[in-house]
Amino acid sequence: MRSTKCSTPWSAVSLLDAVVSWLARMRARTAEALARRRVALGFVSGALVLWLAQPTALTLAVGAAVACLGEALRIWAAGHLNKSREVTASGPYRWFAHPLYLGSSIMGAGLAIAAGSVSAAALIAVYVAATLTAAMRSEETFLRQTFGDRYDRYRRAETGATALENARRPFSATQAVANREHRAAIGLGVAVLLLLLKATYNGMFWR
């Protein structure tokens, strides 16, 4: 008896696999696009935050202190990292997979406090969540492609050869400058200064 059952490459399973694959590609492309454009998006978001902000003396003092802690973490991390050339386990990389992005998140929280506005804080939260998540995914993809098993072992907190070589490497201010971390520090200073100027202009700083 001849079977009437026919097989087709576009079965339900194949279609589901195709959809999942397409979604994965779109997710990767979106992450890459956001990662590349996060600086430009930061300028646009910063202008909107400044417009929405209602800073006071208290919010500026607390927010600036928190943001400085975030920048201090970034400087520490930047002084232990030779970007795109290694997987390091020195400095804050002994405890955090992405200390630079963690520092940026803390800076964002500080600026949200300093702005003194729920709307401004919400905008900062959306920007940080979207762009930093995309940047981390893009960076992890690059590191896995470049360093392979060494990066996976590092993420699993194993002591691979690279980790053993640089786990006790001292902080280098020269390396932090080479990683252009001074630009982030200057940007933070400018952001706080602009919020201070707006608070003074609105007469809110003295309330």
pLDDT in tens, 136-187: 887 777 777 776 666 666 655 544 444 445 567 789 999 999 999 999 999 9
Q: Is the pLDDT assigned to residue 100 strictly greater than 60?
A: yes
pLDDT in the model for residue 37: 72
Q: Is the pLDDT assigned to residue 128 strictly greater than 70?
A: yes
pLDDT in the model for residue 130: 87
Burial of 114 (0-12, 13-18, 19+ CB in 10 A): buried
* 1 band by pLDDT with thresholds 50, 70 and 90: very low
Q: Where are the domains of the chain?
A: 38-201
pLDDT in the model for residue 124: 96
Structure tokens at 72: 């201090």
Cβ atoms 167, 94 nearer than 8 A? yes
Structure tokens at 195: 């919020």
pLDDT in the model for residue 11: 67
pLDDT in the model for residue 86: 72
Measured CA to CA, the distance from residue 29 to residue 84 in angstroms comes to 20
pLDDT in tens, 52-95: 999 999 999 999 999 999 999 999 999 988 876 777 778 898 88
pLDDT in the model for residue 191: 95
pLDDT in the model for residue 177: 93
* 127 band by pLDDT with thresholds 50, 70 and 90: very high
Measured CA to CA, the distance from residue 50 to residue 26 in angstroms comes to 32
pLDDT in the model for residue 122: 96
Of 134 and 7, the one with more pLDDT: 134
- The identity of residue 189, as a single letter, is G
pLDDT in tens, 6-53: 444 556 656 665 555 655 566 656 656 656 676 777 788 899 999 999
Cβ atoms 88, 189 nearer than 8 A? no
